[in-house]
Amino acid sequence: MANKIKDTDFTYKPAAKRRQSQIFFDPHSYSAFPHVIQLEGDELLLAFRQAPKQGVVRHTHPRSLITLIRSYDNGQSWDIENAAQMGAGGGQELGLIYFGKGKVGGALAAHEVVPVGEGQRAGIAHMHEHEYPFDNVGGVWCWSDNYGLTWRVEHSTLFADKMQSCAPPVQLSDGALLVPTYGAVGRATFSSAILHRSADGGRAWSKLATIAQGRPKTRHYHEPVILELAPGHLLGLHRVADPKDSRGLFWRNESFDSGETWTKPEVTAIRSGACPRLLKLRDGRLLLTYGRRFEPFGLYASLSEDNGQTWGETSWLLRPAPNANQGYSSSIELDDGQIFTTCYAQNSRGITGITGTFWRLPD
């Protein structure tokens, strides 16, 4: 059963042996939505959205793109000078996965964005307050054969038309690739979570199932993340928008047939308001990291010893934040047992950029 909702009893402790870093903070950029993976040895690859900084927070810009940087020393330093870039004209997020032997895959959330005043001529009617005229191209599967150093244009395919990808791809024990997406299906005005599958390494894709069906007057499911707990057994977590409930709680459900069918979603006690991210640890526990957009603001972690049924009474503060403009984390477990978690947040000068936190798991 899910945790009983007692957010007034929210308790947390600082994570052990925290060590903070500021990976990328450009005063002229709004940088967010990082994803990190480990390649060979001590090499890490990190992708994030970079766009010009403006007076209001915008998730669209004609010069929004994906920046990729790498570390050769397990995140102690980053080669920013030699960054690669892709997704020009509307790159929103790139969820990464490493297959070995230099092959990197990515689920790109792609937008097409035009200048204000050009929406009609471009045939783009999709408008949001504070945003440029844009259209959601969809989830694009991309791959690199040389450790993410280059991303050839022909190495891409649209796998989720008009849907938004957010979480990293998952490779199941049987070799199949899964990518969860979200968005309005058909003529619907509400968002559902949809799962896409490839059985041939990403060359061809199909819509596998609806993970969580949205409702027009209650829950809209956003930013789903999935994790394989055991062969065929999947856990799903969802950010939810509910006009009748502003608590920002995650919802969860499961699949016992490799994602073809899903249980009815149920509410958890984890309050965030942003995107959930999951990692299965070497000791069998599950790690959930999330940005909490309610006071006390910050990047938090929760641990589960029962495959995500419950998440413990104490959350672990990885990094405090000055406000709600933060979150969208990504974590890896290093060989020495440390966890490296990256997210985005504002610094003391109000610049939004990419952070890194090294920390130790509690016993």
User: What whole-number distance in Å separates Cα of residue 281 and Cα of residue 302?
Assistant: 12
Q: For residue 7, what is the DSSP state?
A: G
User: What whole-number distance in Å separates Cα of residue 268 and Cα of residue 228?
Assistant: 19
Q: Which residues contact 362 (CB under 8 A, 6 or more apart)?
A: 15, 16, 303, 316
1 inside domain: no
Q: Are 136 and 77 in contact (CB under 8 A)?
A: no
Q: Are 346 and 322 in contact (CB under 8 A)?
A: yes
353 inside domain: yes
142 inside domain: yes
109 inside domain: yes
Provide the CATH number for the domain around residue 288.
2.120.10.10
Count up the domains in the chain and report the number: 1
Query: Over its length of 363 residues, how does the chain's per-residue pLDDT go in tens digits?
Result: 333 444 557 999 999 999 999 999 999 999 999 999 999 999 999 999 999 999 898 889 999 999 999 999 999 999 999 999 999 888 899 999 999 999 999 999 999 999 989 999 999 987 788 899 999 999 999 999 999 999 999 999 999 999 999 999 999 999 999 999 999 998 888 999 999 999 999 999 999 999 999 998 889 999 999 999 999 999 999 999 988 888 999 999 999 999 999 999 999 999 999 999 999 999 999 999 999 999 999 999 999 999 999 999 999 999 999 999 999 999 999 999 999 999 999 999 999 999 999 999 998
Check residue 279 and give left, alpha or beta (phi > 0: left; psi -120 to 50: alpha).
Answer: beta
Q: Are 301 and 315 in contact (CB under 8 A)?
A: yes
pLDDT value of position 7: 55
Q: Are 323 and 352 in contact (CB under 8 A)?
A: no
Does the N-terminal peptide bond of residue 296 adopt cis geometry, omega within 30 degrees of 0? yes
230 inside domain: yes
Q: Cα-flanking dihedrals φ and ψ of residue 9, to 5°?
A: -95, 15
pLDDT value of position 8: 58
The token duo for 282 is: 């070497």
2 inside domain: no
Does the N-terminal peptide bond of residue 27 adopt cis geometry, omega within 30 degrees of 0? no
| Residue 161, domain extent | 7-360
pLDDT value of position 3: 39
pLDDT value of position 130: 85
29 inside domain: yes
End-to-end CA distance of the chain: 24
Q: Cα-flanking dihedrals φ and ψ of residue 186, to 5°?
A: 65, -130
- Kindly report the pTM of this predicted structure: 0.95
Q: Are 218 and 242 in contact (CB under 8 A)?
A: yes
Q: Are 161 and 174 in contact (CB under 8 A)?
A: no
30 inside domain: yes
